Amino acid sequence: MGEAYIVAARRTAGGRKGGRLRNWHPADLAAQVLDDLVRGHDPGLFEDVIMGCVGQFAQQSTNVARNAVLASSLPESVPGTTVDRQCGSSQQALHFAAATVMSGAMDVVIAAGVESMTRVPMGLPFKLARDAGVGSYMSPAMERRYPGIQFSQFAGAERIARKYELSKDALDEYGFGSQVKAAAAARSGAFEAEIVPVEGVGPEGEPVLHTVDEGIRFDATLEATRAVKLLSEDGRLTAATSSQICDGASGVIVANAAGLKKLGVAPLARIHQMTVIGEDPVIMLEAPINATRRALARAGMTIDDIDLFEVNEAFASVPLAWLRETGADPARLNVHGGAIALGHPLGASGTKLMATLVHALRARKKRWGLQTMCEGGGLANVTIVEAL
């Protein structure tokens, strides 16, 4: 079996719902990342585009990966396919791309993701189907297996907070910390190597160059974080301890040794291990814990071998429970903040986090990185990379 290398890793800065990226059609936004990735290379070398997207409806329907290719500078000969593994969609796209080049079936593949949560709001396909009376994703067999259960990420996040005895104070402190780290990273220029500048619009529709994640609260305080209203009366989580709705796109070039030679470039990182598991779909968001254990065991590594971690901050309870169960060093976790501050553009978050992880490892001259995220349906992906 061959190796899989990351050659380039880029993302747009996150846009708030209705914010600077509101005028971008998602296929065109994804095309901006594709164009950035392939710039300076022979476009005929790229053999496929595998793109994650959760809301595959309306402007993100009809194979948004192929539509992004057609909106880009890539030739029509480059195919595209769209992946839905919920929040891990583009991390799974990366796994598919890596497996493809490792097998030798292809040499150079782009793994990417896109989500415009402004233009295709979260849950819209389900809501429209329900209102039209055409049925639900819950089949009769699923109903029998999970009688009276309504799968909910919000309920799952609260269940995790209670199960691991995470207080509201601890969740608030974590959410505030994410903002502090993200603001420091943005101010220091830590994101510059990974961000693709795109034209955005300001509050009055004026043109602005969008290069800074719009969700960062540079003036955040712990007192203001604690004052945010609870999502549910008997809960512990608030909007300040939950990931931000976000527009964005991201992508990485994945190649094997032959692909590196064709591209004439040195790799940024090597993909060392890939894992995906399924667990309880009711608590839903707990799977990264056992997925991490499995990935480390398969790699013959321990948690202390890993220099940096990216654990998606869907809700503050997820990385906090992960920290408690894995024993990871909190100082190595989400060192530039996470989705609470930077946003969670659903299908784009997988390769977005990978871009951040790879560039952070190289900037700090560290070797090993681990990325994981919780996913709807009780799923989790883990990717271990070696910075080169």
Count CB neighbours of 69 within 10 A: 27
User: Choosing from 87, 95, 336, 359, which is the catalytic residue?
Assistant: 87
Token couple for 40 = 């300076």
Clarify whether 41 is annotated catalytic: no
Q: Is 16 in contact with 115 (CB distance < 8 Å)?
A: no
Q: Is 254 in contact with 5 (CB distance < 8 Å)?
A: yes
Q: In a 3-state reduction of DSSP, which class is residue 101?
A: helix
Q: What are the residues whose beta carbons fall under 8 Å from the beta carbon of 284, sequence distance 6 or more?
A: 151, 152, 153, 156, 374, 376, 377, 378
Q: In angstroms, how far apart are the furthest CA atoms of the chain?
A: 58
Clarify whether 87 is annotated catalytic: yes
User: Choosing from 210, 336, 344, 359, which is the catalytic residue?
Assistant: 344
Residues facing residue 9 across a β-bridge:
252
Cα angle: 275, vertex 309, 110; to 5 degrees: 55
Residues facing residue 108 across a β-bridge:
255
Count CB neighbours of 178 within 10 A: 28
Using DSSP bridges, classify how beta strands 80-83 and 207-210 pair: parallel, antiparallel or unpaired. unpaired
Distance CA 354, CA 339 (A): 13
Residue among 150, 339, 125 at smallest CA distance from 250: 339
Cα angle: 218, vertex 341, 231; to 5 degrees: 115
Count CB neighbours of 109 within 10 A: 27
User: Choosing from 53, 95, 246, 374, which is the catalytic residue?
Assistant: 374
Q: Is 281 in contact with 151 (CB distance < 8 Å)?
A: yes
Clarify whether 53 is annotated catalytic: no
Distance CA 63, CA 41 (A): 25
Active-site positions read 87, 344, 374
